[in-house]
A and B are shown apart, each in its own frame.
Chain A
Amino acid sequence: MASKETPEVNGGSLADIAFLLLIFFLVTTTMDTDTGITRLLPPEPDPEQQDIEVKVNKRNVLVVLLNRNDRLMVGGTEMDRLEIKDKTIEFFTNPLNKEDLPVMETTEVQFPPGSSSMLRADGVWTGMVSKGVISLQNDRSTTYGKYLQVQNELVAAVNTLRNDFCNQFFGKDYDELNTANPIEEEIQLGIRKIYKMNISESEPKSIGGRN
């Protein structure tokens, strides 16, 4: 039926070629999502206030030291990076009420009333909150990768504590709380008061001996 003058080009394989390209693009394009650990820097100290040393009880501070050879010292003992997390959790909870671990203070935290059957009817949680602070110190020659690994372990410790609490009282992970929902946001703020992200990055200084 088709006229003989212009023979049609066979377009059947066009689909295959296009499919091939399509699959190539589908596979190669990774939507690059930015992920990372968000931290808050301390505000710059007032020049007039510089001389006032904040007195913190010694037992309330856990010093995490990273020296120029990427060796790690936590609270006076050398340690592997995977041990920090448990050490930090112990530090923040002080389960055995030890003398050399932080002071625990009885605190009341307000949660939305009726949000959990394990709380009082008015939503007030009463319990012990640690006054501990972790002081992370590094040398100028510490590699960034190692530093971030340590940061990560510290953040992991606090996240674990928050998750455990959240699971116990509200039956879900801390991360799963939806901040768009005002009740869940309040829960999140409450938990943040109980387990604070008390990780202080000290003023840079040179540690780890002679250069």
Chain B
Amino acid sequence: MSKFRKKGGKGLQKINTSSLPDIVFMLLFFFMVATTMRETEVQVRVKVPEATEVKKLEKKSLVSYIYIGRPVAHVARMYGTEPLIQLNDKLVSDEGIPFESIQDFVLFEREKLPESDKSKMTISLRVDENIPMGKVDDVKQALRRAKALIINYSAKKEYRNQGRKR
């Protein structure tokens, strides 16, 4: 011990770092709290396609989600492996064309919006890229019938190396 003390004497004053962990923990908690996971558990496997012309969805409160994909393993045990439709957080289990459920869903979600925003309601279709269009067409028909006409085909941004110019 005394061996190292020799130099000591009057060097630089050490900065008191005892509050550093507190600061860092504060940051840590901020990030842990601020990053909320998506609250709906997606029970179908969705790998959205890639596209170059995607735009950001601005107002999240106006958006309701429809997922279409093959069910994940634990759901598949109950419903089989055929493509399923999930409306926000609830799985549509009825066979055939789920017009009724989608119409009810749209009405229900529209009711939640303030009067001024009702016409701006957006449906985001998060559809797996390998799903046949028949299923999607059914949903689109149901949405037309429910007068939810603004839809968003969810897609990831694709970057092409030749750029966007012609």
Binding site for B on A (CB under 8 A): 11-12, 14-15, 18-19, 21-22, 25-26, 29, 31-44, 66, 85-86, 89, 138-145, 147-149, 151-152, 155-156, 159-160, 201, 204
Contact = CB atoms under 8 A, between A and B. Distances in A.
Contact of A37 (B55, B137, B166): B55
Contacts, number: 152
A160 B166 CA distance: 8
Contact of B49 (A21, A138, A149, A156): A149
Q: Give the 9 A-B CB pairs with smallest separation, nearest first.
A: A145-B129, A140-B134, A152-B51, A18-B24, A29-B35, A204-B137, A14-B21, A36-B154, A35-B54
A140 B153 contact: no
B162 to A, nearest CB: 10
Interface of B: 17-18, 20-21, 24-25, 27-28, 31-32, 35, 38, 48-49, 51-57, 60, 63, 68, 122, 124-125, 127-134, 136-137, 140-141, 143-145, 147-157, 164-166
A165 to B, nearest CB: 14
Interface of B is mostly: mixed
Interface centre among A11, A37, A86, A143 (most CB of B within 10 A): A37
A23 to B, nearest CB: 10
Contacts of A39: 151-153
A139 B18 CA distance: 67
Given A12-B17, A36-B57, A140-B137, A22 B129 contact: no
Given A22-B27, A144-B127, A41 B145 contact: no
Contacts of B151: 38-41
B128 to A, nearest CB: 7
B130 A144 contact: yes
Q: Which of A11, A19, A148 has the most CB of B within 10 A?
A: A148
Contacts of A152: 51-53, 155
A86 B150 CA distance: 27
Contact of B54 (A12, A15, A32, A37): A37
A40 B153 CA distance: 11
B57 A86 contact: no
Contacts of A42: 144, 149
Contacts of B166: 85-86, 89, 160
